[in-house]
């Protein structure tokens, strides 16, 4: 059952969508290409990263390049750990792997790696969205 829908300006909706993509990415189903599952892994990571943008009140560029998106966050003062930067591996699954002939087939070694990276990025984004107030609205402590 799908979670309650939230508005597009609610980072929780972006995280819900990311979780939905992760659920699909994890399932190997007879007759489904691993490329399609890895696309869902990429979409999970992309939507999780964009949830962080929404939470921080930042407009995000409409791109699928995860290194570019993370670089933008870093340029706005956010520290991005190395394991999250590994999401750049997923960028190729956003477009090229979905069309015949643009890339080779996804291997049985690449699929679990893609899912793990997506899961790690989602966990990182959830921590930033649910446990930390956005910088723009963070209140100063009175001394």
Whether the Cβ atoms of residue 34 and residue 97 lie closer than 8 Å to each other: no
Q: At what angle do helices 34-55 and 66-75 cross, to 10 degrees?
A: 20
The angle subtended at Cα 115 by Cα 110 and Cα 116, nearest 5°, is 100
Fold category of 11-133 in CATH:
1.20.120
Size of the chain, expressed as the number of residues it contains: 143
Q: Is the pLDDT of residue 133 over 60?
A: no
- The pLDDT-based confidence of 138 (bands split at 50, 70, 90) is very low
pLDDT digits (tens, 9 = 90+) for 89-129: 999 999 877 777 677 888 899 999 999 999 999 999 999 99
Q: What is the pTM of this model?
A: 0.86
Query: Where along the chain do its domains lie?
Result: 11-133
Q: What is the DSSP letter of 31?
A: T
């Amino acid at each position: 059952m799908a979670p309650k829908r939230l508005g597009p300006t609610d980072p929780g909706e972006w995280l819900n969508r990311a979780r939905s993509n992760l659920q699909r990415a994890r399932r190997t189903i007879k007759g489904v290409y691993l490329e399609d599952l890895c696309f869902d892994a990429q979409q999970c990571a992309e939507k999780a990263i964009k949830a962080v943008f929404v939470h921080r009140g930042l407009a995000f560029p409409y791109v699928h390049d995860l290194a570019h998106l993370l670089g933008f966050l870093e340029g706005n003062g956010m520290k991005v750990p190395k394991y999250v930067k590994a999401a750049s591996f997923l960028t190729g699954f956003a477009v090229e792997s979905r069309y015949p002939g643009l890339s080779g087939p996804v291997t049985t070694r690449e699929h679990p790696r893609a899912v793990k990276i997506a899961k790690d990025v989602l966990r990182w984004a959830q921590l930033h969205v649910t446990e930390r107030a956005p910088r723009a609205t963070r209140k100063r402590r009175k001394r």
